[in-house]
Chain A
Amino acid sequence: MRFFPFIVANLFRKKTRTVLTVGSFAAALFLFALLATIDTTFTGGVEVAGADRLIVLNKTSIIQPLPISYRDRILQIPDVKHLTYAVWFGGMYQHERNFIPIMAVDTEGFRSMYTEFAIPQEQWEAFVRDREGCIVGRSTVNKYGWTLGDRIPIKGTIYPGSWEFNLRGIYDGTRAEDDTTQFWFQYPYLDERKEFFKGVVGWYVVRVVSPDADARVAAAIDERFANSAFETATESEKSFAAGFVKQVGNIRLIIVSIGSVVLFTLLLVTGSTMAMSVRERTGEFAVLKTLGFSDLTVMFLVLAESLMYAVPGACIGLTLAKIFTLQGDPTGGLLPFFYLDPERMLAGFVLALAAGIAAGIIPALLAMRLRIVEALRRV
């Protein structure tokens, strides 16, 4: 540690270069964090999916409905603990651009199924009492500036006409990565007003006694409704979400893979700068050795200097990225999750350390092996 002032003094010798090198490290790490966030955006659904939840869909197509009568029949299947259902409603607020993920939900089973969403008890009760009530996620409420008790006009896209809801509750996610853009209202409100296709739901969500029972229960449900007019396809929530990710997959793969190439290029640029700065001071290292500093100490000094670029750069880049992601989704609501995972930040930090060492190791070894006489002779 007694060399610390020496290393710092070296950093301040060429301030512009130090600032630029730290800056490009920060840019690289910011980019890394951003790519990690984009990656989480597409895979986020998979990670937050409950392991003990199954999704029951119509086998022919995801947009085909299932009859409401399946509710009781699914509940009879062994190891099914709990069940709820929902209908995708869609809809927009004021303008087509303001598309909101709206679902008609079952007031009995919904809340206990999705325990990751926190709703104050009195708000939930007010919602259940009001047939036209709705509960909306925190981020959507903030986006449109709604307050409790507001009457919200929504233009239906699948179910035409103007629908009005009273905001009775606001839900929060218990984890940072939970989706708080959803809008829920009572299923009976939808079913009473529909002109055709009454008594059907979009999908069922089933909770099984334990995650091990997933496959068994899924098979039992599909078997029960085999050869009926509405055959089902049941899968775990995780594999359902993963299926979607696979389809978006191509774009995600493209963004993430080109990003990685770029990251590598940036680190290369940074590394070469460090190497350059060490090479320029060959003579000084020779002087240090003449003064009696050991080979290892000189190597350590060069490596430490390299890390002195990497560590502050990484800290700045990651902090800025975290602040940036906390501002919310830059596309204005197209991405349901936009969240920088602390684990990914740690990974970024480790990456920066590794890059710092990688960039410094060759100059450091050269400095260590430096022969004093030759080095001093060089101009």
Chain B
Amino acid sequence: MALPLIYNARSVKVRWASTTIAVLGIAGVVAIFVAMLSMARGFQATLVASGSPANAIVRRGGSLSEMESAISLDQIRVITDTPGVMRSSEGIPLISPEVVLVASLPQKTTGAYALVQVRGVSARALEVRETINIAAGRYFRPGIAEVVVGSNVAHMYRNCGLGDTAHFGGRNWTVVGILDSGGSAFDSEIWCDAILLNQTYSRPASMYQAATVKLSSPEELFAFKQGLTSDPRMTVEVEREVDYYERQSQVVTTMIRVLGFLVVFIMAIGAVFGALNTMYSAVAARYREIATIRSLGFGSGSIIISFLLESVFIALIGGVIGCLAVLPINGYTASTLNFQTFSSLAFAFRVTPDLLAEGMLFALLMGIVGGLFPAIRAARLPVAIALRSL
């Protein structure tokens, strides 16, 4: 037979002070737990959103990122003629040979210099990456020192607004457009003409770093890869764009996850101790009450369930408060150094329903752990002695 829930709800209310502390402890753990995961999730989502499953990225064999890669113009021609490359309505192959560099630009907030990724692209880059739009202004004209900047760059760095003159690589560049890629890594980049960028940084003119290719369909990747890697002129890595960016996110997400879990784990121990203390004193304060309930005929099983429910109730309140407290950080934009590209990357925290569910589950777990032992103690009370106690 179960005790009525209202009994637990009322006794929680009576001991509001120590309950509040336990609730706060659990709320804190849940909030941090969700915040850490949403940070890792946001970082990963930013990079993964940068890739498209229908695109392939071709790099030099052995290189892990575009930054380390090099592809010559001759190789670009071979890639262009490989079967599987999509063609535009005019029959032009959709391939974007790109040069990737980092430039240091002053930040708006502190004036301190941070590294920004600069991507030298061709006129067809936007056709290859369909998710990217020009949100304001226009695309740069080839051969002229004009740039389009990602929306994050535009509001994080000085002299990067529409119409401003940005300075890097010993040259002035006019900002003629703002890119919007819907929150992906391209929003943290500056795009300009590849050939001009090579000249500016006095790099060999016919060298690019990687080529992004639009495939005629996502299934073509295997055939395309086969075609390129079996060509004796080429030693290249072919990877689906999505996979490439997913891999790029791994270092930072692993770091956030491992450190975050450690912090959360220790916090959880502290919070469970707090909950245990609250529940033990709840049991201790109610010796006579419990004994009375027992003598009324309730079994030890219903006492355990009742106290467990009480502890879970406290934990769930904590969980809800924690989740509510963490909601406002959804969409908060932070930036960090992406170790793979050596440049800073802005990303937004993502609090998703499944993360909130995980947070509640975690609260539930803490409630069960924190309630089980005190509940067992309550159930084991010898009725006669407890009735006599003060």
Measured CB to CB, the residues of A under 8 A from B are 16-17, 20-21, 23-24, 27-28, 30-31, 34-35, 38, 59-64, 90, 92, 96, 99, 155-158, 160-161, 196, 229, 231, 243-244, 246-251, 254-255, 258-259, 261-262, 265-266, 268-270, 272-273, 276, 330-331, 334-335, 379
Identify 18 new A-B residue pairs, CB closer than 8 A, beyond the known A24-B277, A269-B277. A21-B273, A27-B267, A27-B270, A28-B270, A34-B262, A60-B170, A63-B67, A160-B63, A161-B62, A196-B204, A244-B337, A249-B336, A261-B28, A268-B21, A269-B274, A331-B255, A331-B258, A334-B255
Q: Quick check: A23 and B115 within 8 Å, CB to CB?
A: no
- The answer, yes or no, to whether B263 is at the interface (CB within 8 Å) is yes
Alpha-carbon separation in the docked complex, A249 to B115 (Å): 13
- A-B pairs with beta carbons under 8 Å apart, 23 shown: A24-B274, A24-B277, A27-B269, A27-B270, A60-B170, A61-B104, A62-B102, A90-B64, A157-B68, A160-B60, A160-B62, A160-B63, A243-B112, A247-B115, A250-B335, A250-B336, A255-B259, A255-B260, A255-B263, A258-B263, A259-B263, A334-B255, A334-B258
Q: Quick check: B113 and A243 within 8 Å, CB to CB?
A: yes
Measured CB to CB, the residues of B under 8 A from A are 17-18, 21-22, 24-25, 28-29, 32, 35, 39, 60-65, 67-68, 101-104, 110, 112-115, 168-170, 201-202, 204, 235, 251-252, 254-256, 258-260, 262-263, 266-267, 269-271, 273-274, 276-277, 280-281, 334-337, 342, 344, 390
A262-B17 CB under 8 A given contacts A62-B115, A334-B255: no
Of all chain A residues, which has the CB nearest B200? A60
Q: Quick check: B18 and A160 within 8 Å, CB to CB?
A: no
| Dominant secondary structure of chain A at its interface with chain B | helix
Of all chain B residues, which has the CB nearest A253? B334
Kindly provide the distance from the CB of A142 to the nearest chain B CB, expressed in whole angstroms. Answer: 20
Kindly provide the distance from the CB of A277 to the nearest chain B CB, expressed in whole angstroms. Answer: 9
A-B complex: 10 closest residue pairs judged by Cβ atoms: A27-B270, A269-B274, A24-B273, A160-B62, A247-B337, A265-B28, A266-B270, A158-B68, A331-B258, A250-B334
Interface centre among B29, B103, B273 (most CB of A within 10 A): B273
Alpha-carbon separation in the docked complex, A156 to B70 (Å): 13
Q: Quick check: B18 and A247 within 8 Å, CB to CB?
A: no
Q: Quick check: B256 and A155 within 8 Å, CB to CB?
A: no
Kindly provide the distance from the CB of B70 to the nearest chain A CB, expressed in whole angstroms. Answer: 8
Kindly provide the distance from the CB of A173 to the nearest chain B CB, expressed in whole angstroms. Answer: 22
